[in-house]
Amino acid sequence: MTQTLGDLPQIEYGTSGSLTEAASIGAGIWKRFRRHPGAIAGSIILLILIALCIFAPLSPYDPEVSNMDERYQPPSWSHPMGTDALGRDLLTRVLYGGRISLLVGLLVIGISISIGVPVGALAGYYGGTLDTILMRITDTFLTLPTLLVLILLSAILREVEFPLIERNSVLTIGLVIGILSWMIFARLVRASFLTIRELDFVSATRALGGSDARIILRHILPNSIGPIIVEATLEMGYAIIEESGLSFLGFGIQPPTPSWGNLLSNAQENFTKYPWLAIFPGLMIFLAIISVNYIGDGLRDAVDPYKVIEKAGEY
């Protein structure tokens, strides 16, 4: 017997029974997620990277204090990743740079969700003229050449004084990338709302006098959270790449503040002589991106409706 999305268990909040059902669904998602070895490995690696970056201040070296007597030292016990042109410990700078890059990724996700989810929810729930207007705005942003616009906005924000926005700050870079990254969230949420708003439990809530705000926030949005979570993990990877690219081109975080991107940029002139200056920041970017992507793959499998159908017995 064929099952449709309407036959799947829907998350509704407000009673102890529904909370128990939500917990059961969450347990099923976790059970499928942990069966994905790449996702588990990615989660472990990402947690290790985050922990190392959080505890970066425990390093005995200052990331911005130079020591010309130890410049261009190869990796050793005292400097596991070597030193740079000013004798600064590269491991310390990589960990501090990771704090910047990962924080930019989190800021971009927050900004993208804050813009994209409301746009997609309003467009998908109300449809009609509002849907057309919001989606044409979304399509316009999608047609923009992302890298060129990022460079232009970064250059503008570096030269013009705005309240609460400082030059060369994480907030500035996060804002620049975030306002060009919300469109996928909008389209995903709209697609989910177009499907879920027609299901029986939504029609029943509407017939019982439920307000639009209640239907959107308490009934439809919780059932759209899966695609949002998956896209958020992938978006973090894109944000790290974009921040690194901007910093590499000189339009992102600027020295002496380290980020993985500007560490790579500073290493390009001496890569052949001192390859560790590029290898280790590049390796950190690679590990972060591949970890986030595997986590996204695992979450995609875990919240996939077809997987739920196959494992319906779990509920």
Q: Where are the domains of the chain?
A: 24-61+79-314
Task: Output the pLDDT for position 17.
Answer: 45
pLDDT of 114 strictly over 90: yes
Task: Output the pLDDT for position 96.
Answer: 92
Q: Determine the average pLDDT of the residues in 146-159.
A: 77
Closest to 118 (Cα-Cα) out of 129, 107, 134, 141: 134
| Least confident window among 32-41, 103-112, 140-149, 168-177 | 168-177
Q: Determine the average pLDDT of the residues in 156-177.
A: 70
| Least confident window among 118-127, 199-208, 224-233, 295-304 | 295-304
Dmax over CA atoms of the chain, in Å, equals 77
Q: Determine the average pLDDT of the residues in 213-230.
A: 83
Give tens-digit pLDDT for 2-28.
444 444 444 444 444 455 655 666 677
3-class SS string, 221-283: HHHHHHHHHHHHHHHHHHHHHHHHHHHHHCCCCCCCCCCHHHHHHHHHHHCCCCCHHHHHHHH
Number of residues written out for the chain? 315
Is 194 in contact with 134 (CB distance < 8 Å)? no
Two structure tokens written together for 236: 């973090």
Q: Determine the average pLDDT of the residues in 217-222.
A: 83
Which residues are CB-contacts of 231 (< 8 A; sequence separation ≥ 6)?
184, 185, 188, 296
Is 291 in contact with 37 (CB distance < 8 Å)? no
What whole-number distance in Å separates Cα of residue 290 and Cα of residue 42? 7
pTM of the predicted structure, to 2 decimals: 0.77
CATH superfamily of 24-61+79-314: MetI-like (1.10.3720.10)
